[in-house]
Amino acid sequence: MQTIYNNMSFLKEIQRRRTFGIISHPDAGKTTLTEKLLLFGGAIQEAGAVKNNKIKKGATSDFMEIERQRGISVSTSVLAFNYQDKKINILDTPGHKDFAEDTFRTLTAVDSVIVVIDVAKGVEEQTEKLVSVCRMRKIPIIVFINKMDREGKDAFDLMDEVEQKLGLTVTPLSFPIGMGYDFQGIYNLWEQNINLFSGDNRKNIEETIAFSDVQNPELEKIIGQKPADTLREELELIDEVYPKFDRQDYLDGKLQPVFFGSALNNFGVRELLDCFVAIAPSPRPKESETRLVDPTEEKMSGFVFKIHANMDPKHRDRLAFIKIVSGTFERNKPYYHVRLKKNLKFSSPNAFFAEKKEIVDISYPGDIVGLHDTGNFKIGDTLTEGEIMSFKGIPSFSPEHFRYINNADPLKAKQLDKGVDQLMDEGVAQLFTLEMNNRKIIGTVGALQYEVIQYRLEHEYGAKCTYENFPVHKACWVKPNDPKNEEFKEFKRIKQKFLAKDKYGQLVFLADSDFTIQMTQNKYPSVKLFFTSEFE
Ligand code: GDP
């Protein structure tokens, strides 16, 4: 049993932290909502302060776009602010599908998520993927249906869609009064009040009227006879059809509360935030390969979920983002780097606040610390106070695109190797080395990454590369029931042209179609194939 640090202020610091991510399909309103949350926290003073990390189409040259992206992704990696007595850490999750891998990794560092859905578009592809990862990890989810100022889908239909497409069990904690042109406001089931737009332009300021009993005839006077009748019917239906909100079910990932609003008009956002700070979990225990680690343990532990290269090519140092799981992280104190088996000290750990980062002396569970790194860290690395353990849960997923990478400048072979190695550590893409001839294959989620890699190799490492297509459909991680049996030996012989090692030396089968995967699995049933690198 690990020592629980019985220091009240330490426990309080943990209790007041809320570390979460906002996920959505691009354009649903993630940036706008983030900005409004920061405004409530007083962390920024004006709209437009949070930069959108979207890939602009055709606006700039690709290279410029890559650099712009990288700049923004540093400044928005963690946005922290205080609200009421809570310290809130928002972790940025790129919505663009080419950066999905980045988002999956970030989801290993959040304690809960808010999913933003566009009322007109409903559940979109990227949302489905991200939510399925959250469900796998039983991350508590709140759903925010955005853009209620526009005509969209019927609220009940939309909740059905959310349940069916995302596999969630929802219960509304707020409900719209009208929609689009007729949108008057929101009935807040959580706080039992009505929030109305004031004025005709339906912008900004809201009026909040406590209203615990919708049967009260005053309702007609406030919103009109017809909308009042409709609202009563709808609330009755909600009462009959949807489960009662239960915090434990939400925390266990069994029930997902839904809020309606308009981020742009700052409507329904305060309700969301107030409920969020009340119900969202403080830092949760995390599974390591050996045991479950509780945030209240005295000894520090944490893991790297993101690495960001310096924007200035002259300085090769990088920023490794660590999520603190337990204990306190202190400046200048030595910590044990489990994979490298050595102690490291950090003289200038960065903490993040709104869009700034600054050096801090102490950080608590739930916090993200940025550590300057000269090449010691890989994504997934664990730091402890000496205990040999590694946190679970940063798997690689099969990439979607695969290409050979060739050296285009024979004099710069070393630079190329180093560059490729470091970019892979950052998680820009995945490297596979063919068993047969040691040729290198780069696998990515989106085609854009090949440009990023080529550009960065040239500008940061002085190396040049070209690509060559390699027709692979999926990378499957291979696990034989018995590495010594004849079946596995035959599998390796027959498939040798398609076998590679990933960066960690795990065996991977590069299959050219789903059909091949199926056939291979039928022919060699004792050799199991997995689509992610973490299958135990
Ligand atoms: P992201 O890609 O998810 O970060 O989306 P953004 O926050 O950049 O929003 C995409 C577009 O939708 C922008 O033009 C926003 O101004 C707009 N938008 C965001 N929230 C609302 C809303 O509540 N109502 C309306 N009408 N537009 C919104």
- The kind and range of the H/E element at 344 are strand 342-344
The CA 266 to ligand 1 mean position distance, Å, reads 11
User: Is 31 close to ligand 1, i.e. is its CB under 6 Å away?
Assistant: yes
Does the beta carbon of 150 lie inside 6 Å of ligand 1? yes
- What length does the chain have? 536
User: 26 alpha carbon to ligand 1 midpoint, in Å?
Assistant: 9
Specify the pLDDT at position 244: 94
Structure confidence at residue 170 (pLDDT)? 97
User: Where does the pLDDT of residue 203 fall: very low under 50, low under 70, confident under 90, or very high at 90 and above?
Assistant: low
Residue 536 pLDDT greater than 50, yes or no? no
**Closest Cα to atom 6 of ligand 1:** 29
Number of other CB atoms surrounding residue 497 within 10 Å: 10
**DSSP strand pairing (17-24 vs 112-118):** parallel
Whether ligand 1 lies within 6 angstroms of the CB of 262 is answered as: yes
* Range scoring the smallest mean pLDDT among 41-55, 322-336, 465-479, 512-526: 41-55
Backbone angles phi, psi at 139, to 5 degrees: -80, 130
Beta strands in 165-248 (DSSP E): 170-172, 174-177, 185-188, 193-197, 206-210
Q: Which residue has the tokens 């091949």?
A: 516
Residue whose CA lies nearest to ligand 1 atom number 21:
264
Instruction: Pick the closest to residue 263 from 32, 95, 44 (CA basis).
Output: 32
Rounded CA-CA distance 2/98 in Å is: 41
Is residue 95 lining ligand 1, measured as CB closer than 6 Å? yes
- The pLDDT-based confidence of 409 (bands split at 50, 70, 90) is very high
What value does the mean pLDDT of the chain take? 87
* Residue pointed to by tokens 């009040």: 193
User: What Cα–Cα distance (Å) separates residue 515 from each residue in 333, 518, 522?
Assistant: 54, 5, 11
335: left (phi over 0), alpha (psi -120 to 50) or beta: beta
In angstroms, what is the span from residue 400 Cα to ligand 1's centroid?
29
Cβ(147) – ligand 1 distance below 6 Å: yes
pTM of the model: 0.85
Rounded to the nearest angstrom, the distance between the alpha carbon of 100 and the centre of ligand 1 is 20
* Any atom of ligand 1 within 6 Å of the Cβ of 180: no
Residue nearest to atom 26 of ligand 1 (CA): 147
Are β-strands 17-24 and 86-91 bridged in parallel, bridged antiparallel, or unpaired?
A: parallel
pLDDT at 162 over 60: yes
State the distance from the centre of ligand 1 to the C-alpha of 262, rounded, in angstroms.
Answer: 9
198 C-alpha to ligand 1 centroid (Å): 21
Whose alpha carbon is nearest atom 16 of ligand 1?
A: 264
Question: Distance (Å, rounded) from C-alpha 461 to C-alpha 481?
Answer: 42
292/60: higher pLDDT: 292
Give percent of the chain with pLDDT exceeding 90: 57
Is 385 in contact with 344 (CB distance < 8 Å)? no
Q: Looking at per-residue confidence, does 183 or 330 come out higher?
A: 330
What element of type H or E holds 134?
helix 125-136
pLDDT of 1: 47
Q: What is the three-class DSSP state of 420?
A: helix
* pLDDT of amino acid 137: 86
Ligand 1 centroid to residue 27 C-alpha, Å:
6
Q: How much is the pLDDT for 196? A: 80
- Does 328 score more than 80 pLDDT? yes
Question: Does residue 476 carry a pLDDT above 70?
Answer: yes
Is ligand 1 within 6 A of the CB of residue 124? no
Lowest mean pLDDT among 21-25, 157-161, 188-192, 366-370: 188-192
Specify whether the CB–CB gap between 262 and 203 falls below 8 A: no
- Give CA–CA dist 520/353, Å, rounded: 51
Residue 300 clears pLDDT 90, i.e. is over it: yes
Pocket test for ligand 1, best of 130, 264, 266, 270 (most atoms within 8 A of CB): 264
pLDDT in tens, 241-277: 999 999 999 999 999 999 999 999 888 898 899 999 9
How much distance in Å is there from the Cα of 426 to the middle of ligand 1?
Answer: 30
Per-residue pLDDT, 183? 82
The more confidently predicted of residues 59 and 90 is 90
Give the burial string for 227-263 (b: 16+ CB within 10 Å, else e).
bbeebeebbeebeeebeebeeebbbebebbbbbbbbb
Helix (H) or strand (E) holding 69: helix 62-75
Give the Cα separation of 378 and 382 in Å (integer). 9
pLDDT over 90 (residue 49): no
The answer to whether residues 314 and 10 touch, using CB atoms and an 8 Å cutoff, is no
Question: Amino acid letter at 395?
Answer: P
Q: For residue 32, how far is its CA from the centre of ligand 1 (angstroms)? A: 6
Over 60: is that where the pLDDT of 495 sits? Answer: yes
Ligand 1 atom 22: residue of nearest CA: 147
- Residue 3 pLDDT > 80, yes or no? no
How far is Cα 137 from Cα 158, in angstroms, rounded to an integer?
Answer: 24
Distance CA 370, CA 128 (A): 30
CA distance 53 to 45: 20
What is the C-alpha end-to-end distance of the chain, expressed in Å? 24
Does pLDDT of 5 surpass 80? no
